[in-house]
Homo-oligomer: A and B are copies of this chain.
Amino acid sequence: MKTNIFYHAGCTVCKSAENEILQLTKGDNLEIVHLGDQPERIQNAEKEGVKSVPAIVTSSGTVLHINYGASLEDLKN
Contact = CB atoms under 8 A, between A and B. Distances in A.
Interface string A35-74: 0000000000000000000001011101011111000000
A17 B63 CA distance: 9
Contacts of A65: 66-68
Number of copies: 2
Contact of A4 (B24, B56, B64): B24
Q: How large is the interface on A (under 10, 10 to 19, 20 to 34, 35 or more residues)?
A: 20 to 34
A58 B18 CA distance: 12
Interface of A: 4, 16-17, 19-21, 23-26, 28, 56, 58-60, 62, 64-68
Given A20-B64, A21-B64, 8 more contacts: A20-B58, A20-B60, A23-B58, A23-B59, A24-B58, A64-B66, A65-B68, A66-B66
